[in-house]
Amino acid sequence: MPETLRPRVLVVGGGPGGYVAAIRAGQLGLDTVLVDGGRLGGTCLLRGCIPSKALIHAADRFADIADAASADTLGIAIAGTPRLDLARTIAWKNGIVDRLSGGVAGLLARAKVRVVEGWAIFTDAKSCTVATASGSVAITSEHVILATGSEPAPLPGLPFGGAVISSTEALSLPVLPQHLVIVGAGYIGLELGSAFRKLGAAVTIIEAAGRILPRYDDALTRPVRRWLTQAGVKLHLGAKIVGLDGDGRLAVETSAGPLALPADKILVTIGRRPLTEGWGLDAMALDRDGKFVKIDDQCRTAMRDVWAIGDLAGEPMLAHKAMAQGAMVAEIIAGQRRCFDPATVAAIVFTEPEIVVAGLLPSEAEAAGIDAAVSVFPFAANGRALTLDAGAGGGFVRVVSRRDDQRILGIQAVGRNIAELAGEFAHALAMGAVLADVAHTIHVHPTLAEAFGEAALLGLGHALHL
């Protein structure tokens, strides 16, 4: 007979959304079971956010050393050229992943969450069977939190396999490809493309749209495109993938004519799709919103006491959004009053330079019929940016606010090392800050965050350092 469990809360998926939901439910005294078919941590920890940022850091270090071998702008020079052992870099990255995955297991245990290792298949909205290494486990729960995550989307006509890889394989390559072709100039393609270029690979990027990072405006993306050009990354925009030719080259149609690009690896990064197959979603009678599960502002689905969070439930497909939703759902189940506000979710592109976007872009405010004011403070006028050799390149902090009451609607920035400002931006939006709130906050000197305060001052009409 299969083992039968009847917890108060069943969480399906051990990624950022799922494990946070389970931990918070356990903290609140709810009998909780988490089912996951692989290692704890999900895509972000195992195959996405964490390993990619580790690789980007290693690439930055390697590029800095390589620059010291060819120039001494800061008075620092080395003899010879650096050598890269990518296998050791990947091993270092894997060590970080292992440590964090083990930490998740410890946190779940401390919250008294039972973890069932196996693949859940639902027969109705509240019941599933899990095939584990020690036998079948039947689970029926009062509340079900679906956090199944997402997977790389394949390109029609160019399936994954052989030389065609996804970001998952790109983050575990034992040898640096000499020629890397990337299909897609979104954040994943540009982050990995920049990192591999810094490590020494020849990188070519193919994008169907007419610009990189098509969701963002030209002011934000221009500094990134400038770096790509200076670094020797080849860009083909407005291009169409035809497929692989008989010699294994990637056939591409461009405005200048057809191309046949040789490549050791072809990295497809055209986006991600929610993981909806193979676990019985159709048996749960949930409404869909396109490719996603439809939810309300509390992550409720069409089925009573069935919840969906994270990538399964729509854009933005970001780990911190999933975490926030997971904690919120656990608290609602425990009787607290909560709802989710996607306007406070900031996004970061870890390119060179980095981009942070929180709230409304100027174009989005205009499209919504809002009379908005826009103030921009350049990092060229920020002392800390200059000391970090980050004043050049067109970086800035931009604040979008209502013209009538000066309520801040959006904050964006592009520049080196500005990812850590994302928390301050999100906090200002979550607190409903007006320009004066930010302008009158004493920002520590010298820091990059001073540019945020100066942008708010500029919005009030009296910037001090511009």
Residues in CB range of 334: below 8 A, 6 or more apart: 25, 28, 29, 30
Residue 33's nearest CA partner among 15, 46, 17, 19 is 19
On the question of a cis peptide bond just before residue 446, with omega within 30 degrees of 0, the verdict is yes
Contact present, 58 and 193 (Cβ < 8 Å): no
At 425, phi and psi to the nearest 5?
-65, -50
Known active-site residue 445: yes
The whole-angstrom separation of Cα 57 and Cα 371 is 40
Residue 58 burial (CB count, 10 A) = 20
**H helix intervals, 28-151:** 42-47, 49-70, 86-110
What are the E-state strand segments in 345-450?
A: 347-349, 354-359, 372-378, 396-402, 408-415
Encoding tokens for residue 443?
């920002």
Radius of gyration in angstroms for the set of CA atoms belonging to the chain, rounded to a whole number: 24
The whole-angstrom separation of Cα 380 and Cα 363 is 25
Residues in CB range of 222: below 8 A, 6 or more apart: 394
**Mapped to the 3 state alphabet, what secondary structure does 67-101 carry?**
HHHHCCCCCCCCCCCCCCCHHHHHHHHHHHHHHHH
Residues in CB range of 386: below 8 A, 6 or more apart: 380
Among 320, 440, 443, 445, the active-site one is 445
Residues in CB range of 64: below 8 A, 6 or more apart: none
First to last CA, the chain: 74
The whole-angstrom separation of Cα 42 and Cα 369 is 39
| 252 membership: H or E segment, kind and range | strand 250-254
- Maximum Cα interatomic distance, the chain, rounded to a whole number of Å: 74
Residues belonging to the active site: 445
